[in-house]
Structure 1
Amino acid sequence: MSDVMLSLRKATKLYAGVPAIDGVDFDLRRGEIHALVGENGAGKSTLTKVMAGVVTLTSGAMTIDGADVAPRTPLEARNLGIAMVFQENSLVPTMTVAQNLFLGQEKFYNRLRGIYIAAQQFLQSLNFDVTPTATVSGLGAAKKQMVEIARAVLHRAKVIIFDEPTASLTPEEKKYFFDLVRDLKKRGVSIVFISHALEEALLLADRITVLRDGKHVVTDDAAKFDRAAIVQAMVGRDLSNTLYGARKRSVRPAGARVLTVQNLKMAPMVKNNSLSVFAGQITGVFGLVGAGRTETFKIVSGVLKRDFFHGGEILLHDKPVRYRVPAPAVKAGIAYVTEDRKVEGFFETSSIARNIYLGLLSKFPKGRMMLSRRETDSIGKTWIEKLRVRAIGDHGRVVELSGGNQQKVVIAKSLVQEPDLIIFDEPTRGVDVGAIVEIHELINQLADEGKAVVVISSYLPEIMALSDRILVSRQGKVVEEFSALDATEERIMYAAIH
Structure 2
Amino acid sequence: VSTLGAAHKQMVEIARAVHHKARVIIFDEPTATLTPEEKRHFFNLLQRLVKEGIAIIFITHALEEALAVANRITVMRDGEIVASGEAKGFTRASIVQAMVGRTLTETLHGEVKRTARPYGDKVLSVENLSCAGLVRNSSFSVFSGQVTGMFGLVGAGRTEMAKVVAGLLKRNIFHGGEIRLLGKSVRYRVPRPAVRDGIVYVTEDRKFDGFFETMTAGENLQIGELTDKSNPVSIVSLARARELAKQWGERLRLKQISERARMIELSGGNQQKVVIAKSLIQQPKLVIFDEPTRGVDVGAIVEIHQLISDLADQGMAVVVISSYLPEILAVSDRILVVKRGRVVEEMMLSDATEERVMFAAVH
TM-score w.r.t. the length of structure 2 is 0.84
The match for 2:269 is 404
The match for 1:20 is none
Shift of 1:165: 2.7
Q: Which moved more, 1:475-484 or 1:261-270?
A: 261-270
| Inter-partner Cα distance in structure 2 for 1:487 and 1:359 | 36
1:165 to 3, 26, 31: 31
1:327 aligns with 2:327: no
Quick one: percent identity of the two aligned structures? 53
The match for 1:359 is 224
1:263 aligns with 2:121: no
The match for 2:21 is none
Task: Describe the shift of the 1:316–1:383 C-alpha distance in structure 2 as closer, same or farther (beyond 3 A).
Answer: same
Amino acid at match of 1:149: A
| Inter-partner Cα distance in structure 2 for 1:321 and 1:270 | 17
The match for 1:69 is none
Amino acid at match of 1:210: T
Task: Describe the shift of the 1:448–1:227 C-alpha distance in structure 2 as closer, same or farther (beyond 3 A).
Answer: same
Shift of 1:306: 7.2
Q: Residue deviations 1:363-399, cap 9 Å, x none? A: 2399547875544432331111111112443333222
Task: Describe the shift of the 1:405–1:370 C-alpha distance in structure 2 as closer, same or farther (beyond 3 A).
Answer: closer
| Inter-partner Cα distance in structure 2 for 1:343 and 1:179 | 26
Q: Residues 360-439 of structure 1: matches in 2 within 5 Å?
A: 360-364=225-229, 368=233, 373-439=238-304
The match for 1:478 is 343
1:457 aligns with 2:322: yes
Contact 2:131 2:174 in 1 (8 A): no
Indicate the SS of the match to 1:294: helix
| Inter-partner Cα distance in structure 1 for 2:323 and 2:339 | 12
Task: Describe the shift of the 1:493–1:430 C-alpha distance in structure 2 as closer, same or farther (beyond 3 A).
Answer: same
Task: Describe the shift of the 1:300–1:195 C-alpha distance in structure 2 as closer, same or farther (beyond 3 A).
Answer: same
Q: Residues 52-91 of structure 1: matches in 2 within 5 Å?
A: none
Amino acid at match of 1:416: I
Amino acid at match of 1:245: H
Task: Describe the shift of the 1:181–1:201 C-alpha distance in structure 2 as closer, same or farther (beyond 3 A).
Answer: same
Task: Describe the shift of the 1:164–1:408 C-alpha distance in structure 2 as closer, same or farther (beyond 3 A).
Answer: farther
Indicate the SS of the match to 1:252: coil
| Inter-partner Cα distance in structure 1 for 2:81 and 2:233 | 48
The match for 2:7 is 149
Shift of 1:271: 2.2
Shift of 1:151: 4.6
The match for 2:53 is none
Contact 1:352 1:398 in 2 (8 A): yes
| Inter-partner Cα distance in structure 1 for 2:218 and 2:13 | 40
Contact 2:73 2:87 in 1 (8 A): no
| Inter-partner Cα distance in structure 2 for 1:156 and 1:300 | 43
Amino acid at match of 1:207: N
Amino acid at match of 1:432: D
Q: Any stretches of 5+ residues in structure 1 without a counterpart?
A: 1-90, 93-99, 102-146
2:74 to 178, 198, 210: 210
Q: Any stretches of 5+ residues in structure 2 without a counterpart?
A: 19-24, 51-55
Shift of 1:272: 2.2
| Inter-partner Cα distance in structure 1 for 2:261 and 2:31 | 27
The match for 2:311 is 446
Indicate the SS of the match to 1:253: coil
Q: Residue deviations 1:383-441, cap 9 Å, x none? A: 11111112443333222211110111111111111101011111111111111111111
The match for 1:245 is 109
Shift of 1:263: 2.2
Structure with greater contact order relative to length (CA < 8 Å, sep ≥ 6): 2
RMSD: 3.1
Task: Describe the shift of the 1:208–1:320 C-alpha distance in structure 2 as closer, same or farther (beyond 3 A).
Answer: farther
| Inter-partner Cα distance in structure 2 for 1:228 and 1:345 | 31
Higher helix share: 2
Shift of 1:253: 0.6
The match for 1:29 is none
Contact 1:266 1:306 in 2 (8 A): no
Q: Residue deviations 1:110-163, cap 9 Å, x none? A: xxxxxxxxxxxxxxxxxxxxxxxxxxxxxxxxxxxxx41355458885789471
Q: Residue deviations 1:439-496, cap 9 Å, x none? A: 1111101000110000111111111110001111122222222211111112222222
| Inter-partner Cα distance in structure 1 for 2:348 and 2:236 | 46
| Inter-partner Cα distance in structure 2 for 1:429 and 1:234 | 17
Contact 2:225 2:231 in 1 (8 A): no
Q: Which moved more, 1:153-162 or 1:237-246?
A: 153-162
Task: Describe the shift of the 1:185–1:393 C-alpha distance in structure 2 as closer, same or farther (beyond 3 A).
Answer: closer
TM-score w.r.t. the length of structure 1 is 0.63
1:295 to 145, 160, 176: 160
Q: Residues 222-237 of structure 1: matches in 2 within 5 Å?
A: 222-235=87-100, 237=101
Shift of 1:164: 5.9
| Inter-partner Cα distance in structure 2 for 1:387 and 1:257 | 28
| Inter-partner Cα distance in structure 2 for 1:313 and 1:497 | 27
1:276 to 134, 141, 148: 141
| Inter-partner Cα distance in structure 2 for 1:435 and 1:400 | 17
The match for 1:18 is none
| Inter-partner Cα distance in structure 1 for 2:171 and 2:347 | 27
| Inter-partner Cα distance in structure 2 for 1:261 and 1:240 | 36
Q: Which moved more, 1:387-396 or 1:153-162?
A: 153-162
Contact 1:298 1:304 in 2 (8 A): yes
Shift of 1:218: 5.2
Task: Describe the shift of the 1:179–1:376 C-alpha distance in structure 2 as closer, same or farther (beyond 3 A).
Answer: closer
1:340 aligns with 2:205: yes
